[in-house]
Chain A
């Protein structure tokens, strides 16, 4: 498909690097506990820089690539409009002010690090944040039902990955390289078969 790098698409788009920078700063500052939901609300629903379909597609690629998903997606969007300069500008927008804010927060809580209340509050927020990450996983379950590997195999793979990483503490690289290459090759074989079955 066409990936416009010279001609801009007909729907609204950022007009300058400055606009791109502040757009990403603004959406990053709204994103508590994760930015992805805000990316969709701001860029798809409000600004219409992306269609919903483009967003889903970009998100799939951003998720498969290593690196923080929202960082990848802001690089891809910036890159589409202004090339590498655009990607880096969007990244700078997303990181600069939130980084300063986090450092200030860290500094403010440092003097009170021994405070029982503050430790308690961080512990409570930590428990909530841990739960949110599991919820992100739960929300992806429906997508696995459409997976070529089949729903049952997918759920078994989720369980195997969980046991390897969480319980046996196997280093991540071995799980990704070992298990990941097996499942990718397997998925490839299944794709060959389904294609063979579908085409007359």
Chain B
């Protein structure tokens, strides 16, 4: 895929992730719907399947899930250079895109964490601190549900995609109710997909 990304666009990318960083209560994954809206729907910097496979890869690989943000930036950079075939230019562009999204998603929240965790720890009996925690809790849970829904729907909305929806449902129930290692589920999902069963 090839796209044109101007200096203003790079700035938009950076500022979008800087903003999302401060909104990512409950983890960067809760801002996935907004990333999808901007990167795919509004600016067409990424294709739907690039967006989804970035998240799937980061989930499949070990490490914090926030690394999907690095892959999103990486892929925007690759697209901007006209795809991986552009060679060294593509690598540089991809690395630049990754740098922007990762700095964006981490810098504000990291700074705030240093300040707020010290302050919050010292004032954790304060009513305002407790009210904020209690008030945000149900919204955080609702965001997780919405994220799960959007990721599932993105896999396909026609009735023919029902095996994928079923797989997501089974995965949710198994992870919720059992202690089965997550790696088994990812492995089974990958294998079923590889064999063309879902």
Contacts and interface: CB of A to CB of B under 8 A. Distances in A.
B134 A121 contact: no
A67 B138 contact: no
Contacts of A171: 34, 37
Most buried by A among B114, B130, B139, B144: B139
B60 A129 contact: yes
Contact of A102 (B19, B21, B61, B172): B61
Contacts, number: 386
B191 A158 contact: no
Interface in B140-198: 140-152, 155, 164-165, 167-176, 181-183, 185-186, 188-198
B88 interface: no
A199 interface: no
Chain B binding surface SS class: helix
Interface string B32-46: 011001000000000
A130 B193 contact: no
A143 interface: yes
B56 A122 contact: yes
Contacts of B105: 67
How many chain A residues sit at the interface, stated as a range, is 35 or more
Contacts of B137: 140, 143-144, 147, 154
A172 interface: yes
A172 B62 contact: no
Interface in B47-82: 49, 52-67, 70-71, 74
A136 to B, nearest CB: 6
25 contacts: A3-B121, A31-B62, A34-B64, A57-B124, A67-B24, A67-B108, A68-B28, A72-B109, A123-B164, A124-B164, A127-B164, A129-B55, A129-B56, A130-B171, A131-B173, A131-B174, A161-B141, A161-B146, A165-B150, A171-B34, A172-B34, A173-B19, A176-B23, A184-B134, A187-B131
Given A33-B60, A67-B28, A131-B167, 19 more contacts: A32-B62, A64-B133, A65-B113, A66-B22, A68-B24, A119-B53, A120-B195, A122-B57, A124-B190, A124-B194, A125-B56, A126-B53, A128-B186, A129-B171, A132-B175, A132-B182, A137-B142, A172-B33, A191-B130
